Structure 1
Amino acid sequence: MNKKNEITQQQLEELRTVIELHNNRYFAKNNPSITDAEYDKLFRQLQQYEQCHPEWITAESPTQRVGAAPLSEFSQITHRTPMLSLGNAFEDIEVEAFDRRVRESLGIDCVEYAVEPKFDGLAVSLCYENGIFITGATRGDGYTGEDTTLNLRTVKSIPLRLPTETAPALLEVRGEVVMLKTDFNRLNQQQREKGIKEFANPRNAAAGSLRQLDPAITATRRLTFFAYGIGVYEGEMVPDDKHSHIMAYLATLHFPIAREYQTVTGFPALFEFYRKIGAMRDRLPYDIDGVVYKVNSLSQQKELGYISRAPRFALAHKFPAQEMTTRLLAIDIQVGRTGALTPVARLEPVFVGGVTVTNATLHNADEIKRKDIRIGDTVIVRRAGDVIPEIVSVAMAQRSPLSKPFIMPDHCPACGAKAIRLPGETPVRCMGGLFCPAQQKRAIVHFAARRAMDIEGLGDKLVGQLVDNAIVRTPADLYKLGITALHNLERMAEKSADNLIKAIEKSKRTTLSRFIYALGIRNVGETTAKALARHFGSLDHLMNTDIEHLQQTPDIGPIVARSITDFFAEQHNREVIEQLRFSGVYWEENRTFPTLMVENMAVSGKTFVLTGSLIGITREAAKKQIETQGGKVTGSVSKKTDYVIVGTDPGSKYDKAIELGIAILDEAGLQTLLHSF
């Protein structure tokens, strides 16, 4: 399978944006909108794509961080060592693979593990100096957390003073703040009596309670702390041989630890512990969502080390979600902002995971077919992670002869445009990208972006107002805007309205590559748009070409070619383009790229990598100059790289270039090369 053809850099960035949104909702707002299983699937998908495209990995990627940035309402504390999250396993085979990797890395036949329940709460760090509790913080993004010291002081299970004879000079204790089930039920009873919103689950209640700006409110919430390890310490009191000895040591300091904690040997014992805890899950005083396995030997932990966001010596083995049965009444179609048609199940109300469920995601047509889901079926509903329900399977023994197979529509229910499934993609998508009501906001924001039509001042909020007030329906409507219409919008002063009108007018003069990119054609990013503009030279030529001719364009494969032809095959998209041209949007066709692109043979066809800060020119401008002269700029150094351009404070790319013997130029050398024609 050629994974390179399965995703574009733009799609990768969109996936990162979605994951960061869910990180923020889960870690910062305590209000998740997808299940843990769905989040884990997105995260694994991102990891797989980045493995295929290491040149696209950035320091800001969710794979390079742990949780979410700390809330601005709290001051921040930098952790002395990062608070990393754990890798997850959902199937027995994944646990076996984990144990095999550990054994092979250590070169031994059997491993001793420390095992314990996985608390479903909020991770925190507690710092003690000379036995006195000094500061406490949440995990935050893994490196910086929220200073919740005053709130943590109200948690009665947290010792404020440790026994001086056994406490080291510095001790950082890590653990989980949870709300016991009895305390959660009591809190929700109080919420009901007060007529205010109840908490969805103990985890949200614990996180919300700990993040109260008034510690007096936290003190009324009855939170509980359980220790599960040590971060840093100074002194000779702390055991340095086994994790189990650390846990015993924490207990002598009066920190609560899980009663179910124990040590086992070999992966069969891991499964035995997993099944035992799973059987007693409902009887435990606190919520858990799985169990945790840790290599017990601290020296072996050190030898195994870490990957970017998780230790190699530990694993979280998740439990399956709770399930109930109900009847599937109908299947509706929702159109997402990217044009994806998503089937949604309408259910006979059923109580699952503490709430009444009436809707469930069906993901896509393939999922419906794979599970043989039919309207009228009795279905098994899972509320994974206590958030969004999904249909797990059909209770075939209860299938009615009147149940009806579901047929995915071939036209968009929002706009009537053709809906198709592109090669290599799972969802069916609406092709009316420029005029579909469901895609309006995303299409217009993308159209106005800096690297597209560059309409300064036209951001998400303003586009939202324009669409919601029916002032703008398509990108072409932007060029019909007047001062009067803008004045009626919220927070739009005369000066701001005038500046926006000028920015829209200025955007009319553009380039063919920018215009192609601005159209938002699926799988067509900036680089592809430039290649199309260079190859065809004319928008009309591009709009009227066929798949075979498109695939003759450098770097254009069958998937991208199909996306382009399907986009231009939709008559409404052509109408919007015609309206844009009629409004005065123009470019110099056949001259989008300067002629020196083919004249400077020192640059044309060469691959460049930029590293460090340039002084006389921005990296974006340098990239543009290289590309206009026929060169290519990539993000990583390889044997195929011809030149590495080094500015001040270069990174590892400089070292890689030296290792591979690749030509290295400074900024002056680059300018000499660019002017060598």
Structure 2
Amino acid sequence: MLDLFATHDAQRDAQDNIRTLTERLHYLNHQYYQNDVSEVTDQEFDQLLRELQALEKQYPEYALPNSPTQRVGGTITKQFPTQEHRFPMLSLANTYSETDLREFDERVQKGLEGAEYQYVCELKFDGVAMSLRYEHGQLTQGVTRGDGTRGDVVTSNVRTIKTLPLHLREDAERAAPADFEVRGEIFMPLNVFNDLNAEREQNGEALLANPRNAASGTLKLQDSAQVAARRLRFYAYSFLSTGRHFPTHSAALQALKRWGLPVSDTWRLCGTIDEVLAFIHEWDKKRFELPVATDGIVIKIDDLRQQELLGYTAKSPRWAIAYKYPAEAGRTRLNEIIYQVGRTGAVTPVALLDPVPLAGTVVKRASVHNANQIAALDLRLGDLVFVEKGGEIIPKITGVDLSARPADAVPIVYPTACPACGTPLVRPEGEAHFRCPNERGCAPQLKSKLEHYVSRKALNIDGLGAETVGRFFDLGLVRDAADLYDLPRRRDELVNLERLGEKSVQRMFAGLDASKEVPFDRVLFGLGIRYVGETVAEKLAAHYRSIDPILNASVEELAAVPEVGGVIAESVTAWAQDAANRELVERLKAAGVQMQLTGEAPQPLSDRLNGLTFVLSGVFEQHSREELEQVIVRNGGKVTGSISKKLSYLVAGDKMGPAKREKATALNVPIIGETDLLAMVTDGGL
């Protein structure tokens, strides 16, 4: 009996000690990362953490859900599930122009009908947008932005971020709601990024392009211990919950900080657009002193009721805008030009440079785009060239320092044959790129088509990334997308390949099975038809509902589909007339890949617009362009992309280009506005 009591007392003591150590370590973390206060040495902190780990190992039933020990990682996630966002993560409208900001301010004035308002200006940190959920003060979920509607659940990786509270601090001024979300940016500090690239360079690995890509890739790692080693950080910039908890955005930011969430101190309230512009100018150079990459300023209306009044377009809020800083430029030496062959056969020159620091990264390569740019810049090997990062992401050469041109600078001669397969290059009339026409036998083209098919925005086949399909191609196992579905027949061969094994092969086969349920529009995008991007694939799929009518449509019929037009229609028709492409489609059908949309097509609302065709141009006040297209189509009309004599109406929005207006006027095509269109359908069509 005494032993029983002793055991019970030991368990109770262990539970109390676990709770005490957990609270102590959370407090020390907050002091160190939020207040820059070190109350104990690193050695003392590590000792406390080891004590907690030992107790949790001995008494796992008493470990708290958000224990500080989770920050060191150790969770292995084979596949990240996806989840729909309770509150959509919309993107912001972007601008590089101060004139656009003043026009934005004028629209705000108009929308608020003369009421007083203030802006909150925040630095736009260059990382990965993240939605965090807190329930009863505990961090319960982390979800990536994804497509804005659904994202990946990466909670185990998010928990490793040491600046992020796993449980909230109590606040006497305002208690945190029982259930709310925090939006913010997960980023990789510049020093961590530079250290990581230095390590990769020593190991002969490919360098990471920029801190944002590095942070994104880190969050997709399956081992949370590796994520913890990357030392990611987080800044909160938004509070979301049902009901109204704060009068202003700035009040919400202050509360988030009191609850222990990291909020950058760089934000500021501005009473006028002139103050906003002063804030932008202040941080133009000052931002490079920060330990994190930034690419602009986000401007938001502070009053939350005013935000609701201004509302949203289909893609972004009307009460916020992002100003992007112009690209930073540097000067360095051009050493060599290499030529890369892309998925469509385009041969793209890439410049190899002396390393130059630019916008927080070291640039060694830059795009030269095409032969026209080489000629226009009169580039020569050995030149000192000016390099800038477009959007501070992709470096490009913008000019040559002719005053410093060496006497032995070598003119660049563009190749006449494909650097990969030797086929003579062609240059279609009106195009800037030379192309390799050997699309059936040029290895980089074939490999890139496979990589595109399995990519995230297309079929997104788990276990078959770009590196794996590239390896299979090199080994002669696959040559086109349909070959992927024959891989299960080669199981014995695959499991014996280095770095694969039974588990990897099983995962790959499961990914192939799952890809057979991917919607038709993404399959159409995955086929890699030139000019058919995500939006065009969605439009074609919605219009035709299955692959066969697309393959059999004429150029004129395809061009009449909204967002398509003549150039895309000709490309689709040429692709469809190729017997090898039709055979590929049939093989994919036989494999079970979705070649038609499921579910019912949207039902028409009326026939009021029968026989009428419309072109939509510009930005509209009440609805997005996509919504207005649906109004037209569901009331019997057609939307096209080009103006001709047969056009019934040009629907003009704000900022419509003058060329379309002039052409419509010359052809006597009536020009109407959004309200005129909606008046043509008595119920507004929505």
The normalised TM-score by structure 2 is 0.53
Matched AA of 1:146:
V
Shift of 1:84: 2.4
Query: Do the aligned partners of 2:288 and 2:359 also contact (CA within 8 Å) in 1?
Result: no
Q: Distance in 1 between matches of 2:157 and 2:268?
A: 32
Query: Do the aligned partners of 1:424 and 1:559 also contact (CA within 8 Å) in 2?
Result: no
**1:259 lines up with 2:268 in the alignment:** no
SS at match of 2:169: coil
Shift of 1:82: 1.7
**1:325 lines up with 2:347 in the alignment:** no
Change in 2 beyond 3 A, CA 1:660/1:72: farther
Matched AA of 2:183:
R
| RMSD over aligned Cα atoms | 5.8
In the alignment, which of 607, 610, 619 is matched to residue 639 of structure 1?
610
Shift of 1:291: 1.5
**1:395 lines up with 2:401 in the alignment:** yes
Which position in structure 1 is the counterpart of 2:186? 177
**1:163 lines up with 2:171 in the alignment:** yes
**1:140 lines up with 2:163 in the alignment:** no
In the alignment, which of 320, 334, 353 is matched to residue 314 of structure 1?
320
SS at match of 1:276: helix
Matched AA of 2:306:
Q
Shift of 1:613: 3.6
In the alignment, which of 115, 121, 126 is matched to residue 115 of structure 1?
121
SS at match of 2:279: helix
Change in 2 beyond 3 A, CA 1:445/1:90: closer
Written as runs of structure 1 = structure 2, the 5 A alignment for 1:379-390 is: 379-383=385-389, 388-390=394-396
Mind listing any 5+ residue stretches in structure 2 that lack a counterpart? 1-76, 454-464, 484-488, 497-526, 533-539, 541-546, 558-563, 585-595, 602-606, 614-626, 639-686
Matched AA of 1:148:
T
**1:363 lines up with 2:369 in the alignment:** yes
Shift of 1:378: 1.0
Matched AA of 2:552:
K
1:529-565 per-position Cα deviation (integer Å, ceiling 9, x unaligned): 6367999xxxxxxxxxxxxxxxxxxx99799889999
Q: Distance in 1 between matches of 2:198 and 2:444?
A: 40
Matched AA of 2:610:
K
Matched AA of 2:186:
V
Written as runs of structure 1 = structure 2, the 5 A alignment for 1:176-255 is: 176-181=185-190, 203=212, 223-234=232-243, 238-240=245-247, 242-255=248-261
What percentage of residue pairs aligned between the two structures are identical? 33
Change in 2 beyond 3 A, CA 1:195/1:425: closer
Matched AA of 1:342:
T
Shift of 1:418: 4.6
Change in 2 beyond 3 A, CA 1:87/1:162: farther
In the alignment, which of 270, 281, 285 is matched to residue 287 of structure 2?
281
1:139-166 per-position Cα deviation (integer Å, ceiling 9, x unaligned): 3323344151684376345253332661
Query: Do the aligned partners of 1:125 and 1:172 also contact (CA within 8 Å) in 2?
Result: yes
SS at match of 2:241: strand
Change in 2 beyond 3 A, CA 1:190/1:335: closer
Written as runs of structure 1 = structure 2, the 5 A alignment for 1:458-473 is: 468-469=474-475
Shift of 1:243: 1.9
Query: Do the aligned partners of 2:334 and 2:382 also contact (CA within 8 Å) in 1?
Result: yes
**1:152 lines up with 2:159 in the alignment:** yes
Q: Distance in 2 between matches of 1:466 and 1:253?
A: 51
SS at match of 1:339: coil
Matched AA of 1:264:
C
Query: Do the aligned partners of 2:119 and 2:300 also contact (CA within 8 Å) in 1?
Result: yes
**1:85 lines up with 2:91 in the alignment:** yes
SS at match of 2:435: strand
Which position in structure 1 is the counterpart of 2:516? none
SS at match of 1:439: helix
Matched AA of 2:317:
P
Equivalences, count: 467
Greater shift, 91-100 or 196-205, is seen at 196-205
Change in 2 beyond 3 A, CA 1:72/1:310: farther
Change in 2 beyond 3 A, CA 1:403/1:124: same
Shift of 1:394: 1.8
Mind listing any 5+ residue stretches in structure 1 that lack a counterpart? 1-70, 448-458, 479-484, 493-517, 536-554, 586-609, 620-635, 643-650, 663-677
Q: Distance in 2 between matches of 1:312 and 1:529?
A: 40
SS at match of 1:301: helix
Shift of 1:302: 1.5
Shift of 1:282: 2.3
Change in 2 beyond 3 A, CA 1:567/1:462: same
Change in 2 beyond 3 A, CA 1:329/1:567: farther
Matched AA of 1:155:
K
Which protein has greater RCO, CA pairs closer than 8 Å, 6+ apart? 1
Greater shift, 256-265 or 335-344, is seen at 256-265
Q: Distance in 1 between matches of 2:171 and 2:572?
A: 68
Query: Do the aligned partners of 2:342 and 2:445 also contact (CA within 8 Å) in 1?
Result: yes
Q: Distance in 2 between matches of 1:471 and 1:564?
A: 30
1:487-537 per-position Cα deviation (integer Å, ceiling 9, x unaligned): 996479xxxxxxxxxxxxxxxxxxxxxxxxx998999997686367999xx
Q: Distance in 1 between matches of 2:572 and 2:216?
A: 44
Shift of 1:359: 2.9
In the alignment, which of 327, 342, 347 is matched to residue 341 of structure 1?
347
Change in 2 beyond 3 A, CA 1:109/1:374: farther
The normalised TM-score by structure 1 is 0.54
Matched AA of 2:153:
E
